[in-house]
Structure formats: structure tokens, C-alpha cells
């Protein structure tokens, strides 16, 4: 589908949603994917204080923290029902790479059946510099310590001009794509995100999607795409009005039509439970998961609960006539 056709659909949302839903149904029928998962943020201390981020803290802030392997074990030891652990963190020079690897080991020792999805491309670049190792060395360490996927964070909008507007100097678009390409070639799957609802136009969104699709055609390594609605509270852009549900549904639907990435997530802490359910009729096939202890979206102002039970997710799915499909990080069926 060419850009003119896509722009026509963006201006005609009912047609857009129907086309996206048709494509999604052709792939998965009535199945809706979800995981019993927890989000672990190992530290909120970050040397990059991006203008759009509500999560980062300075080392001396009263609510700054850094988890240890023992603390991680204490968080997880009673959560034997989990199928996925999702790990992202601030860029903290005091959280050493060997500590991160020990935490990965402790997770597998505590919950041997879970799959681990760990680190953004931004963190991979940070630790490569901290350890004076090539990107390949960091990826190899992740593989050797139980990680099966990179997370998708840090993409924002893959344009230098957008990064300038968002007041961030972290990982460039070119490096973000390079790190994911290296991961794919080494056998580590990954996800991809977009941050929308700030300064971007739909042309910016289409350009972002085109870069992801180009890499996907080359490697086939992306598993899921996650549109994240910008949460402006507690950021330098608190004056920005959050994106509407229509903008969210358009972003999800156009992503389904442009991308050959298999799964499109309706990330409920970002867009809300009601909008997430609507998104399942507009191209999304994955409700993400239970998301125990999600912090980043909530510190940006999300009014959603800090986690949902698996039963709540299943009821949400069945209440609209669809079928829950419990997965792990590799989209393998659980149960």
C-alpha cells in the first residue's frame, strides 16, 4: 500500500480500522495474546534526563533506587505464576554490567520457566561504552544469561529532528536500528516501539514505520510493535494535551497495515483499558499482560491500575467475543 493510499485511510478512519482489522483477523482470527508478566525497572537513576521522561531520577533524589539480585529474588519468589519478566532501567553508572548479569541469573534460578525480555537498545549502547565492549559482546552476554528478546524502548520517533524536540541526546535512530539488527543476526529477537502524541505528524509516524519495516524485511527479527501514548504529566512537556483515542486507534491501525511485524500491542497502561479493547478491532492482537509493578507510564500520569490479574485480562477479552491466548516472550502458547 503506497503512502497516498495510507493517507487516504488516515483521513477515513472507519475504512482504516476495517482494513486493519481484516488483516489482523487473517493472521490470528479471534485470538488475543497476553502474558502473565512483571515489569522490573532495576534502577530509576539515569544520567540522561530526557525532557519527555517522568521516570528518571538523580542519584541523590530521595526516591532514587537501585535493585540488587537479592531484592529481585524477594520480588519474584512468590510470583511463581509468571511467564515473562520484562526488564528496563535508567542509565546508571553505579549499576554495573556484572550486576545486571547476576540479576538475570537470579531470575532464571528463581523462576526457571519464565522467559526474560531485557534491556532497550539505549541500555545496550550504554553498557557497551561502560564496559568498552562491542555491541555484539553485550548481546552475547544477554543470550548467555537467559534473555530471549530485547525490549522495544528508546525508539521514540526515529528522526534526529524529533529527538531534538523531545530534548533527548540518547541513542541515535541509526544506532537504535543497528543494535536491533545485530541482535536479530545473533539470534536475539526484539520488539519495537513508537512514542506518539507530542510533536509528530502522521508523516513522521509513517517514516518511523518505514524504517522498522525495512529492517524487518531484512532480518525478520522483530516480534511485536508497541505504540506508546506520550504521558506528559511530570515531564518538561506537561502543557501538551494527551493524544485522543482516535489518534491512538489510527496509529495502531496504520501500524498493522504498514508493518509485517507479527504482533501489534494495545498497551493498556499507556492508552487505557477501554481504548485497548477498541484497538483489538483496529489491528491490535496483543493486550501485553498483567504488568505487575509498571512504573514508567504511571509516573507520567496514567490513571490505570499498577497491574491487572490474568482473570481480568481474560474477562476483558471474552467480554467482546474474542479468545484469550496466553503466551511467553517468544509467543509460545502457555497452558
- The ranges assigned to domains in the chain are 3-326
Q: How many CA atoms lie within 13 A of 95 on its CB side?
A: 26
Give the largest Cα separation in the chain, rounded: 54
Tell me the pTM.
Answer: 0.94
53 is in an annotated binding site: yes
Q: How many CA atoms lie within 13 A of 256 on its CB side?
A: 32
Length of the chain: 335
The answer to whether residues 215 and 177 touch, using CB atoms and an 8 Å cutoff, is yes
156 is in an annotated binding site: yes
55 is in an annotated binding site: no
User: What percent of the chain has a predicted confidence (pLDDT) above 70?
Assistant: 96
Cα separations in angstroms, 135 against 3, 51, 117, 122, 272: 34, 26, 17, 11, 36
pLDDT at residue number 135: 98
pLDDT at residue number 306: 59
Buried-exposed string 151-175: b where 16+ CB fall within 10 A, e elsewhere = bbbbbbbbeeebbebbebebbebeb
pLDDT at residue number 49: 85
Q: How far apart are CA 189 and CA 275, in angstroms?
A: 28
- Among 94, 102, 39, 10, CA closest to 306: 39
CATH architecture entry for 3-326: Alpha-Beta Barrel (3.20)
pLDDT per position as a tens digit, 110-143: 999 999 999 999 999 999 999 999 999 999 999 9
Q: How far apart are CA 65 and CA 87, in angstroms?
A: 15
pLDDT at residue number 300: 46
First and final CA of the chain: distance in angstroms?
38
pLDDT at residue number 291: 83
The answer to whether residues 158 and 196 touch, using CB atoms and an 8 Å cutoff, is no
pLDDT at residue number 301: 46
- Residues of the chain where predicted confidence (pLDDT) is lower than 50: 294-295, 297-302, 304-305
Amino acid at each position: 500500500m503506497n503512502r497516498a493510499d495510507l493517507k487516504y485511510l488516515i483521513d477515513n478512519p472507519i475504512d482504516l480500522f476495517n482494513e486493519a482489522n481484516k488483516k489482523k483477523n487473517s493472521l490470528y482470527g479471534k485470538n488475543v495474546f497476553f502474558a502473565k508478566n512483571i515489569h522490573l525497572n532495576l534502577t530509576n537513576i539515569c544520567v540522561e534526563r530526557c525532557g519527555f521522561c517522568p521516570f528518571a531520577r538523580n542519584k541523590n533524589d530521595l526516591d532514587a533506587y537501585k535493585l540488587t539480585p537479592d531484592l529481585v529474588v524477594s520480588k519474584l519468589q512468590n510470583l511463581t505464576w509468571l511467564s515473562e519478566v520484562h526488564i528496563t532501567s535508567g542509565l546508571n553508572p553505579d549499576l554495573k554490567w556484572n550486576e545486571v548479569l547476576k540479576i538475570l541469573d537470579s531470575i532464571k534460578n528463581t523462576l526457571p520457566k519464565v522467559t526474560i525480555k531485557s534491556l532497550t537498545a539505549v541500555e545496550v549502547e550504554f553498557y557497551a561504552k561502560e564496559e568498552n565492549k562491542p555491541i555484539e559482546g553485550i548481546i552475547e552476554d544477554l543470550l548467555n544469561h537467559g534473555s530471549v528478546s530485547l525490549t522495544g524502548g528508546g525508539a521514540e520517533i526515529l528522526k534526529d529532528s524529533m529527538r531534538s524536540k523531545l530534548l533527548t541526546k540518547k541513542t541515535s535512530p541509526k544506532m537504535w536500528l543497528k543494535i536491533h539488527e545485530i541482535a536479530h543476526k545473533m539470534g536475539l529477537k526484539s520488539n519495537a516501539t513508537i512514542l506518539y502524541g507530542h510533536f509528530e505528524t502522521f508523516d513522521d509516524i509513517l517514516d518511523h514505520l518505514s524504517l522498522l519495516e525495512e529492517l524487518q524485511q531484512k532480518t525478520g527479527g522483530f516480534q511485536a510493535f508497541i505504540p506508546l501514548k506520550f504521558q506528559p504529566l511530570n515531564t518538561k512537556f506537561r502543557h501538551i494535551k494527551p493524544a485522543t483515542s482516535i489518534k491512538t486507534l489510527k496509529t495502531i491501525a496504520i501500524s498493522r497495515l504498514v508493518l509485517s511485524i507479527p504482533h501489534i500491542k494495545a498497551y493498556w497502561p499507556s492508552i487505557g483499558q477501554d481504548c485497548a479493547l477498541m484497538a483489538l478491532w483496529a489491528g491490535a492482537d496483543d493486550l501485553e499482560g498483567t504488568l505487575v509493578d509498571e512504573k514508567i507510564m504511571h509516573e507520567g500520569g496514567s490513571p490505570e491500575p499498577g497491574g491487572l490479574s490474568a482473570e481480568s485480562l481474560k474477562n476483558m477479552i471474552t467480554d467482546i467475543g474474542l479468545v484469550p491466548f496466553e503466551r511467553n516472550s517468544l509467543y509460545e502458547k502457555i497452558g
